Amino acid sequence: MCGRYRLSNAERMSERFQIETNDLDLAPRYNIAPQQVMPIVVRDGVNHLELMQWGLIPAWCKEPKSIAINARIEGILNKPAFRNPIRYHRCLIPATGFYEWRQEAAGKTPYHIHRRDGDLFGFAGIFDIWTDRTGKETKTFAIITTAPNEFLAQIHNRMPLILRSEQENLWLTTEPGKIDSLLQSLQPLPAEELEMYPVSRMVNRVGNDSPQLVEKLESDGAETLFR
Confirm if 16 and 120 have CB atoms less than 8 A apart. yes
Q: Which amino acid is at 214?
A: V
Task: Give residue 123's Cα distance to chain centre.
Answer: 4
Looking at 71-153, list the stretches that DSSP marks H as alpha helix, in order from N- to C-terminal side.
83-88
Q: What amino acid is encoded at 25 in this protein?
A: D
34-68 burial by CB neighbour count: b if 16+ within 10 A, else e?
beeebbbbbbeeebbbeebbbbbbbeeeeeeeebb
- Our answer to whether residue 74 is catalytic in this structure is no
Catalytic position from the list 2, 91, 195, 215 = 2
In degrees to the nearest 10, what's the CA dihedral of 122, 57, 33, 195? -30
- Active-site residue (options: 63, 74, 100, 192): 100
91 is catalytic: no
Determine what percent of the chain falls in helix, strand and coil, rounding each to the nearest 5: 25, 35, 40
Which residue numbers are catalytic? 2, 100
